[in-house]
Structure formats: C-alpha cells, structure tokens
C-alpha cells in the first residue's frame, strides 16, 4: 500500500518537470526582455547593486527640523526688530479685504431728549450718512422700542409693517445724509430709563452682501404729563367731617389711553360717600384722557384719631397694561390730628358775697390760646338764662367794648365779634383776652310768690383756623347766681 503511494508521488513530480520544460521560445524571449528593462539603465549599462542607498535615520530628520526652526525664529526676530518695529506704517489701518470698508463707511445715529415726561409726545430722530464714494442701496431701517412705547407717526417715510418697526428708505448717494423722525409716547415710572435701538442694513453698489450698523439712545422719565392734586385739610380734630378732592389733568397734546385712578384712604377715615362711584372698590377707570381733560373725584368721610396722630391719603393715576398698573403720578396727603387747647373762663365777680335785689351781677370773661395753631375770626358769646326776669337788661355796663344783644323769652345773649373785640380777628399761640361787664338786679321780684331766684351764665367761643377746615367750639363752665327774695316785714304790703 505504501509502495503504491510512493509510486504515485513520483509520477506527479515527473509531470511537473515535464510541464516546466515545455516553455515555448516566444515566452522565454518575453521574460528575458522584461528582466533587462528592470535591471538595465537607459544607456544600456546594467545597474550596480553592490552599492545600495540607505534611507536617512530618525536622528538625522530631527536634526534637520531643529536647524530649520532655529533659522525661522532668528529670521522672524530680525524682521520684527529691524523692520516692523521701526516702521512708520500703521498696520491697524491696513484693510486686507477691500469690501470691509463699507461696514464703517455708513454711519447711523439716534437723537432725542435725555429726559422726557411719561406720556409726553416725544420726537426721536434717526440720522444716517453715506461716508463712502459709492452708492449704497436697499436701505432698511428697523427700530426696536422699549416697553410701553406708543408709536404715533413718522416723517418723511412711513413704516411698511403693522408693528410700525420697519422702514424702506431707498438709497444713499456718496456723502448724502438723510433723517427719519419718529414721534411717540414713552410710558413708564418716574426715574425709569428707556432705550430705543435702530438697525440700518444696506447693500453697496456692485456688491451682493448685506451690511448693517446699529445705534441706540437712552432717555430717562423725569415726570408725567398727568398732573394730580389732592385738596384736604392739613390738620384734623377728632370726629371732624372732611372731604378729599382729587383732581387730575392731561397736560400733553396727545390722548392718554387706559387711565386708571387709584385711591388709598387711611384707616382712620370712615367713608360717607364717593363721587363718582368707583369702577371697583378704590379704582376709577377713566379710559381715554384727552389733552387738557380734567377729572375730579371727591371722597367724604369722618376722621377719628388722637392728638399728633397722622393720616396719610394716597392718590395714584396710572396706566394698566397686561394687568400691570404703571404709576404715572402719585400724591400723598398727610394730615395730623390736633387738639386746639383754648382756655375759656367765665367767673362771677360781684363785690358782695350775698346777691340781693337792688344789687348787681358782675362777670369777667378770660380766654387764652394754648394750642400751636392760629385761631381766626372768633365769635364770643355769653348766654344768660333769667327765667324770672330779675335782671334789668337796660342796665348793662361794658367798660371795654359793647356787644350786640339778643333778647328771648327767659334769656339774653351777648355777642362779640372781631368788629367789637379786635383780639378775636387773629388769635396766635399764647394770645389772650379779658373783658368784664355788669348788670343791675331789680329792686323787687316780679313774682312775690318765689323766694329764691336763679340766674345762670355761660361763655361760648367759636373760631376758625387756616389749618382746620371745621369750626372750633369751646364752652366755659356754667356759672349760677342765686338771689333770695327778702322776707316781708310787719306792715309790708307783700305780707298781705
């Protein structure tokens, strides 16, 4: 078996040798020609393979690169020190790109007032200039307004969109300047700063690229065109009925939209009425307030408080936008409670301790202003009650000034005004006045059945004050005089 296998292998080897020897002369010629082209130079000489070139080593490459870097570094240092540093050329002004000049060749600026009144008709001006020597075309101006800015109109061009923010302003010749005026209302709180921004885009002639320049302007709100006042007393007395009169007016030449008046009354004010009625609790919705239009709101109530206590009434007018109340004007009215301390005394000053018929009644009135407010236009009255009519009204004696007299059944009233008593015209702090008067008692009573007669007297003072819009009233203690009828003697007709 193994012998057969061996014979088979030998047979195969012989076949291979026979195939190799059966190469044709044409194939052999082609192979020789190819080998000559590979191993022979163009001149016909054979290559010498005894000397082979070797590739450079790694350290050789590193050394070459280090030398090259050193040469470049030294050369750069030389150029900087001896050429660029001492050069007179301003390299910052060198423009590598020719079309870059158009970005600075057109200028745009915003002009306006540094301070404005909220709601006032305000004018802003956009100024744009072509500083280059080529025409710029397709100019488009875009304005970005601050919050609560109300656009009214523009000139000479009109906006091209419904938001009044875009203008197509044509083209600019070389050196040409144009202006666009924007008229509007800046709304905001006092002290708030508002910004307006303008963006001008354009295309230079023979260019397809768009360029743009921006400008911005800031203004501050100094006050409002809505003027508000509150008219009310500066001083109160406890229990006084007072009126707060709130007035507001649009002083601008434009309508003010969405106006709301908000009043904040103090806790010590018991409100009696509001005229007109508010839209909701303490808010009055005015809506549109036209130029020079005035509104009036009256609040009536009774105040309650102690001496030196202050009540603050706050009135605000503003604009409601997006459910936000933007105050345009605010007035705070502060009033203080006072207690005008006036000492008013009426005393009986008869010379005799025992009053009797045929005698006299004498009185002295003393008043002193102990308060810190001024009293004016005082009226002093002394009311005498004489039910039995035992005094002789025709016998009054007034050493200083004679008052007017009013008689009624069982009483009479003596009245002094500033015409009769000059001190009553103006009564400053610590000012005082005094007067006396007397009257005769009848010799005998008109009614003999009465044994004891009474005469009462009381002084009363009314005055005004510039600080208090309410009459001030004071009364003295009641003075009572008792006159006893004489007992009838034997033989006297009164004993019958």
Share of the chain above pLDDT 90, in %: 43
Last residue of a domain, one of 195, 223, 251: 223
Residue 119 shares a structural domain with residue 137? yes
Final residue belonging to a domain, choices 157, 192, 223 = 223
pLDDT at 488: 59
pLDDT class for 33, splitting at 50, 70, 90? low
pLDDT tens digits, 110-134:
999 999 988 888 999 999 999 988 9
310: domain CATH number is 2.60.40.10
Q: Which of 34-48, 72-86, 89-103, 254-268 has the lowest mean pLDDT?
A: 89-103
Tell me the mean pLDDT in the region 465-494.
76
CATH number of 477's domain: 2.60.40.1530
What is the C-alpha to C-alpha distance for residues 464 and 304, in angstroms, rounded to an integer? 20
Each residue's pLDDT tens digit, 166-219:
999 999 999 999 999 999 988 888 888 999 999 999 999 888 888 999 999 999
Residue 326 domain-assigned (yes or no)? yes
Nearby residues of 295 by Cβ (< 8 Å), 6 or more positions away: 247, 248, 249, 261, 284, 286, 289
| Number of domains, the chain | 3
366 and 439 co-located in one domain: yes
Cα–Cα distance measured from residue 128 to residue 157, given in angstroms and rounded to the nearest whole number: 14
Please report, in angstroms and rounded to a whole number, the separation of the first and last CA atoms in the chain: 201
Q: Mean pLDDT across the chain, nearest whole number? A: 82
Please, which pLDDT band fits residue 256 given cuts at 50, 70 and 90?
A: confident
Residues 353 and 395 in one domain: yes
Same structural domain for residues 163 and 261? no
136 with 250, same domain: the answer is no
| 2-22 confidence digits (pLDDT tens) | 445 444 445 545 444 444 444
Q: Lowest-confidence range among 32-46, 356-370, 439-453? A: 32-46
Does residue 76 belong to any structural domain of this protein?
A: no
Which residues share a beta bridge with 361?
Answer: 439
Assess whether 471 and 357 both reside in one domain: yes
Q: How far is CA 49 from CA 38, 39, 46, 237, in A?
A: 12, 9, 9, 131
128 forms bridges with which residues in the sheet? 108, 178
More confident residue, 89 or 279: 279
Alpha carbon of residue 79 to chain centroid: 63
| pLDDT(277) > 80 | yes
CATH number of the domain bearing residue 115:
2.60.40.3670
Tokens linked to 370: 């102990």
CA distances from 166 to 103, 109, 212 (A): 21, 16, 14
Out of 320-329, 370-379, 399-408, 431-440, pick the least confident. 320-329
Q: Pick from 203, 223, 243: which residue ends a domain?
A: 223
Q: Is the pTM of this model over 0.85?
A: no
pLDDT per position as a tens digit, 140-156: 999 999 887 889 999 99
State pLDDT tens for residues 337-363. Answer: 887 889 999 998 876 666 788 888 999
Domain coverage including residue 161: 100-223
347 and 420 together in one domain: yes
One domain for residues 317 and 348: no
My answer on whether 179 and 283 are in the same domain is no
Q: Residues 287-324: pLDDT tens digits?
A: 899 999 999 999 999 999 988 899 999 999 988 877 78
Q: Which residue has the higher pLDDT, 376 or 488?
A: 376
Residues 418 and 453 in one domain: yes
- Per-residue pLDDT at 491: 52
CA–CA dist 241, 301 (Å, integer) = 6
Inside any domain, residue 346: yes
The answer to whether position 196 is within a domain reads yes
In a domain, 495, yes or no: no
User: Residue 74: what pLDDT?
Assistant: 76
Q: Is residue 427 part of a domain?
A: yes
Can you name the residues that pair with 426 across neighbouring β-strands?
Answer: 376
* Residue 53 maps to a domain: no
Same domain, 235 and 303: yes
**Would residue 33 count as lying in a domain?**
no
Same domain, 112 and 177: yes
Strands (E), 106-240: 106-111, 115-118, 121-130, 136-144, 149-155, 166-172, 177-186, 193-204, 211-224, 226-231, 235-236
């Amino acid at each position: 078996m193994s012998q057969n296998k061996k014979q088979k292998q030998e047979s195969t080897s012989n076949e291979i040798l026979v195939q190799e020897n059966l190469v044709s002369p044409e194939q052999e010629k082609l192979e020789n020609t190819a080998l000559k082209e590979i191993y022979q130079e163009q001149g016909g000489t054979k290559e010498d393979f005894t000397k082979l070139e070797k590739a450079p080593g790694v350290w050789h490459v590193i050394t070459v690169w280090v030398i090259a870097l050193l040469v470049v570094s030294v050369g750069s240092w030389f150029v900087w020190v001896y050429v660029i540093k001492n050069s007179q050329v301003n390299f910052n002004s060198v423009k590598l790109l020719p079309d870059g000049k158009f970005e600075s060749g057109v200028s745009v600026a915003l002009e306006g007032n540094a301070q404005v009144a909220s709601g006032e008709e305000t004018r802003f001006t956009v100024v744009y200039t072509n500083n280059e020597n080529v025409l710029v075309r397709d100019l488009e101006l875009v304005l970005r307004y601050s919050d609560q800015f109300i656009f009214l109109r523009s000139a000479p061009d009109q906006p091209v969109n419904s938001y009044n923010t875009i203008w197509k302003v044509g083209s600019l010749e070389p050196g040409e300047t144009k202006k666009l005026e924007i008229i509007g209302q800046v709304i905001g709180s006092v002290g708030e700063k508002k910004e307006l921004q303008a963006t001008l885009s354009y295309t230079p002639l023979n260019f397809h690229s768009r360029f743009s320049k921006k400008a911005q302007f800031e203004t501050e709100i100094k006050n409002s065109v809505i003027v508000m006042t509150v008219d009310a007393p500066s001083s109160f007395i406890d229990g006084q009925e007072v009126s707060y009169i709130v007035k507001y007016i649009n002083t601008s030449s434009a309508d003010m939209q969405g106006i709301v008046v908000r009043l904040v009354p103090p806790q010590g004010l018991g409100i009696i009425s509001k005229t007109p009625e508010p839209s909701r609790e303490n808010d009055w919705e005015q809506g549109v307030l036209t130029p020079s239009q005035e509104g009036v709101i009256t609040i009536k109530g009774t105040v309650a408080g102690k001496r030196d206590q202050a009540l603050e009434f706050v009135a605000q007018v503003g604009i409601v936008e997006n459910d936000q109340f933007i105050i345009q004007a605010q007035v705070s009215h502060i009033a203080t409670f006072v207690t005008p301390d006036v000492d008013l005394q009426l005393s009986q000053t008869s010379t005799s301790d025992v009053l009797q018929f045929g005698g006299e009644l004498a009185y002295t009135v003393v008043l002193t202003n102990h308060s810190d407010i001024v009293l004016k236009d005082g009226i002093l009255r002394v009311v005498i009650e004489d039910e039995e009519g035992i005094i002789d009204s025709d016998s009054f004696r007034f050493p200083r000034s004679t008052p007017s007299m009013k008689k009624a059944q069982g009483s009479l009233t003596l009245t002094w005004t500033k015409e009769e008593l000059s001190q009553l015209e103006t009564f400053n702090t610590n000012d005082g006045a005094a007067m006396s008067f007397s009257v005769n008692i009848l010799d005998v009573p008109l009614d003999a059945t009465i044994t004891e007669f009474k005469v009462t007297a009381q002084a009363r003072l009314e005055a005004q004050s510039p600080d208090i819009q309410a009459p001030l009233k004071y009364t003295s203690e009641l003075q009572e005089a008792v006159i006893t009828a004489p007992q009838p003697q034997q033989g006297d007709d009164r004993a019958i």
